Structure 1
Amino acid sequence: MESKKEKDMRQPDLIIPYQEPAPKGDNAEFSSTLSSTLPMAAIFLRNRYVGWAAVVFSIQSWLGESEETRKSPSAPGYFSVGMSLMSLIVTYLPIFLPPQPGLQQGSATGAAAPAAS
């Protein structure tokens, strides 16, 4: 039968203190995703504010790249900066090359709708 008073087998010299693990770099992935999708949103919406936000976020993610991020097979930071600058050019393009007045927006081919009298 077991005795109520068992010998403590723990040895104080073998105790390893708890160390909190380092946080994962999920913020870098989120900013990288944001810096690659905002230029597309600026191009589709033709919104200059979204284009400027894309430029700011892509420069931030490019400057915040770590060595591990550079070694990964993802797109480099300067590529997202280039895409955001291209989206900014596309949003400002109608100022420098205005659309032709004869063409309707939305349909490049086909006859115009008849005007109501």
Structure 2
Amino acid sequence: MEFNKGKDMRQPELIIPYQEPAAKGDNVEFQSTISSTLPMAAIFMRNKYIGWTAVVFSIQSWLGESEETKKSSSTPGYFNVGMAAMSLIVTYLPLFLPQAGTQQGSATGAPAPAPA
């Protein structure tokens, strides 16, 4: 059995040119919308879980940005990550800077006795 050394066995008529697949724009826009609105929801509700979810979604959205998304988007991906980090700072702020005059207690319990 003899191998064909130096002879090109490829056939030019069988070459198929590369065609870039069509972009799915709806999924990217939805993820961008979620990553920009979740930090605001976390700030308004002071919910730490929503804040951490906002961080995960915004990092995921930033890492998944394409060149086409960068051109059409009004805010860059790192801005959404910054907003998500800011929402975490706002939700954890009462732990480090408690407000004066507020008492920790349940809303359904009996009121504290009035001083005499």
The separation in 1 between residues aligned to 2:22 and 2:42, in whole angstroms, is 36
Report 1:20-39 matches (<5 A).
Answer: 22=22, 24-39=24-39
Match in the other structure for 1:79: 79
The separation in 2 between residues aligned to 1:52 and 1:43, in whole angstroms, is 11
Q: TM-score, normalised by structure 1?
A: 0.67
The separation in 2 between residues aligned to 1:53 and 1:27, in whole angstroms, is 18
Report 1:14-53 matches (<5 A).
Answer: 22=22, 24-53=24-53
1:90 to 2:90 alignment: yes
Match in the other structure for 2:63: 63
Gaps of 5+ in 1: 1-20, 104-114
Shift in CA distance, 102/52, structure 1 to aligned 2, threshold 3 Å: closer
Give % identity.
76
Report how many aligned residue pairs link the two structures.
84
The separation in 1 between residues aligned to 2:55 and 2:102, in whole angstroms, is 34
Moved over 4 A (4+): none
Q: TM-score, normalised by structure 2?
A: 0.67
Task: Compute the RMSD of aligned alpha carbons.
Answer: 1.8
Paired residue type of 2:69: T
Shift in CA distance, 72/27, structure 1 to aligned 2, threshold 3 Å: same
Shift in CA distance, 27/90, structure 1 to aligned 2, threshold 3 Å: same
Q: CA deviation at 1:25?
A: 1.6
The separation in 1 between residues aligned to 2:48 and 2:30, in whole angstroms, is 22
- CA offsets, 1:53-83, max 9 Å, x none? 0000000000000000111251000000000
Larger Rg: 1
Structure 1 residue matching 2:52: 3-state secondary structure: helix
Structure 1 residue matching 2:22: 3-state secondary structure: coil
